[in-house]
Chains A and B, each alone.
Chain A
Amino acid sequence: MRIIDREDIIKSVERLCIDTNCILNDDIIKSFDSFIEKEASPIAAGILRDLKKNGEAAKKRMMPICQDTGMAVVFIEIGQEVYVDGSLEEAINEGVRRGYINGYLRKSVVYDPVIQRINTKDNTPAIIHYNIVKGDKLKITVAPKGFGSENMSRIHMLKPSEGRKGVIDCILKTIDEAGPNPCPPMIVGIGIGGNFEYSAYLAKKALLRPIGQYSEKAYLREIEEEVIKKANNLGIGPQGLGGTTTILWAAAEDYPTHIAGMPVAVNISCHVTRHGEVTI
């Protein structure tokens, strides 16, 4: 058994909340460069250059890349041999609290979703996904997610007979309907199979994969490639003002499903797809 100190968890989560919100990951910056080169619309290329500049400005001033610093989504992989000194959940939320307060991040969480909608003032609670794995390590991934793009996400409960074409079509339809709303260029997470809620979880998890790293499963890679190509032929372009850069990337994850179903979740994200991890 290995004991992990609560304070280490808090500090890690705090740091990750701040860093992911202020520093655009390298894979995204690199992909801007390659899309700027290929972009058919000069206005669109200009917008992409501005987004790159925005990333640079944010890093330099340690200011959030985007004012919507999101709801903190936290993935935990905890080894079976780990003992956390105190409540893990409380430690994560304390880390989020400190990160959003000390990092001057925007607090965007409300207690009651329907009637009062009163701000919790410290961006807690986080959305936490736990996974118990072998070993004595604790891996923490923080992925703050904005809601301009979250609101454009959809789950499609397809019939198995709709097959591969049904999968591609519903993903493209989701992207097309999102249009200018999620600050394109988008990054698209896709979860196929499982059930209703698990497909959504997979789609969210797919957003953690770096741009350029296709699925190891051949059929998923083909779906990813086809979605990237066809989505960029939709014409939406950066900010919806037309162009050949509508999505920077699409990543798909799958899981076995029921004989009667074929769920496909599409988690729309924007160029500010934030994620960072540490292993303690």
Chain B
Amino acid sequence: MEISLKTPVTREMARKLRAGDRVKISGIIYTARDAAHKRMLENREKDGFPIDLKDSVIYFAGPSPAKPGEAVGSIGPTTSYRMDSYSPDMIKYGETVMIGKGKRSSEVVEAMKKYGAVYIGAIGGAGALLASHVEKCRVAAYEDLGAEAIHELVVKDFPGIVIIDSEGNNLYETEYLKYRRND
């Protein structure tokens, strides 16, 4: 099914999404990679979160620099397992959608089931194509981290596919078996 998803995404909305749904995301989303996740969670008690995590969409990505006149540089997903140790807490504190590429740990999937969150895959390596769905980009926090800073993006019809849903259905576990041959 193809679904237009407007951000912020509530837990109820997240729970309705199913693995295999194709989504087009519009609205505000935030980028964060390992370094930003680490800092957000380490500094939480002291400083609070630099962005509103409630019902937030976090894109695991670090764009290449924008050329003059462009909103953003190339911006595809980074490999998500590096965020596995942080994601359960992020979900607990309000994140409902993660966008990335690659496998997730069982701890992350358990947190998704418990709180109501989904994992969406964007096409890895298609950074130039995905950039055309980003209308605005500004640094929201941690500027010193460069590409790893938290960027606030305004996206339009940003394409993805639900890989793991809030019931734990997981395309990475089911789809390859349909094409696997032992010869």
Chain A interface (Cβ < 8 Å from any Cβ of B): 40-41, 47, 50-51, 53-55, 57-58, 61, 63-69, 104-108, 117, 119, 121, 148, 151, 179-183, 233-237, 239-244, 270-272
Contact = CB atoms under 8 A, between A and B. Distances in A.
Contacts of B70: 61, 63
Interface stretch (B9-17, B61-69, B107-115): B61-69
Interface stretch (B41-49, B50-58, B86-94, B172-180): B172-180
A40 B179 contact: yes
6 contacts: A233-B180, A233-B183, A234-B180, A236-B176, A242-B176, A242-B177
B125 A107 contact: no
Given A54-B127, A67-B73, A181 B79 contact: yes
Given A235-B176, A242-B178, A179 B78 contact: no
Contact of B127 (A67, A104, A117): A67
Contact of A69 (B64, B66, B101): B64
A51 B76 CA distance: 11
A62 to B, nearest CB: 8
Nearest to A270: B125
Contact of A41 (B65, B146, B179): B179
Nearest to B82: A151
Given A41-B179, A179-B102, A233-B182, A51 B128 contact: no
Contact of B179 (A66, A180, A183, A242): A242
Contacts of B79: 148, 151, 181-182
Given A57-B129, A64-B73, A66-B76, 4 more contacts: A106-B64, A182-B124, A237-B176, A240-B102
A239 B128 contact: no
Contact of B101 (A104, A108, A239): A239
Contacts of A151: 79
Given A235-B180, A237-B179, A57 B102 contact: no
Contact of B103 (A63, A64, A181, A183): A181
B39 to A, nearest CB: 12
A68 B60 CA distance: 12
A151 B64 CA distance: 20
A55 B123 CA distance: 13
B8 interface: no
Interface residues of B, number: 46
A180 B78 CA distance: 11
A174 B142 CA distance: 36
Nearest to A271: B125
Contacts of B183: 233
Contacts of B176: 179, 234-237, 240, 242
B96 to A, nearest CB: 22
The secondary structure that dominates the A interface is loop
Contacts of B75: 67
B116 to A, nearest CB: 24
B85 interface: no
Contacts of B73: 63-64, 67, 104, 106
A236 to B, nearest CB: 5
Contacts of A242: 171, 175-179
Contacts of B129: 50, 53-54, 57
Interface in B139-183: 145-148, 161, 163, 171-172, 175-183
B35 interface: yes
A183 B66 contact: no
Contacts of B103: 179-181, 240
A166 to B, nearest CB: 18
A181 B102 contact: yes
A119 B146 contact: yes
B7 interface: no
B73 to A, nearest CB: 6
Ranked nearest first, the 5 interchain pairs of A and B with the lowest CB-CB distance are A242-B175, A183-B124, A235-B180, A235-B179, A181-B102
Contact of B121 (A105, A106, A233, A239): A239
Contact of B175 (A58, A241, A272): A241
